[in-house]
Amino acid sequence: MNKLKKIIKENRGFILFLLLMSVFRSAVADYNSVPTGSMLPTIVPGDQITIDKLAYDLKVPFINHSLVRIAEPKRGDIVVFESESAQMRMVKRVIGLPGDRVEMVNNKLRINGKALSYQLTNKQANSINELLPQRPHAIQLEQPEGTVYDSFSEVVVPKDQYLVLGDNRQNSADSRVHGFIPREEIIGRAEKVLLSFDYDANYLPRTERVFQPLI
CB-CB neighbours of 49 under 10 Å? 24
Ramachandran angles phi, psi of 7, nearest 5° = -65, -45
DSSP E strand stretches across the chain: 29-33, 47-52, 57-59, 66-69, 78-83, 88-96, 101-105, 108-111, 114-115, 118-122, 127-130, 137-140, 152-156, 161-165, 181-182, 186-198, 204-205
pLDDT tens for each residue of the chain, 215 residues long: 666 555 555 566 554 544 545 444 544 557 688 999 999 999 999 999 999 999 999 887 767 777 889 999 999 999 999 999 999 999 999 999 999 999 999 999 999 999 999 998 876 668 899 999 889 999 999 888 889 999 999 999 999 999 999 999 999 999 999 999 999 999 999 999 999 999 989 889 999 999 999 98
The CATH number of domain 2-209, selected from 2.102.10.10, 3.90.1200.10, 1.10.10.10, 2.10.109.10: 2.10.109.10
3-state secondary structure of 84: coil
What residue segments make up the domains of the chain, in order of their start? Answer: 2-209
The catalytically annotated residue of 53, 59, 83, 92 is: 92
pTM of the entire predicted model? 0.88
- As a whole number of angstroms, the distance between CA 58 and CA 169 comes to 32
92 is catalytic: yes
Catalytic residue status for 53: no
Q: How far is CA 41 from CA 2, 16, 201, in A?
A: 56, 40, 19
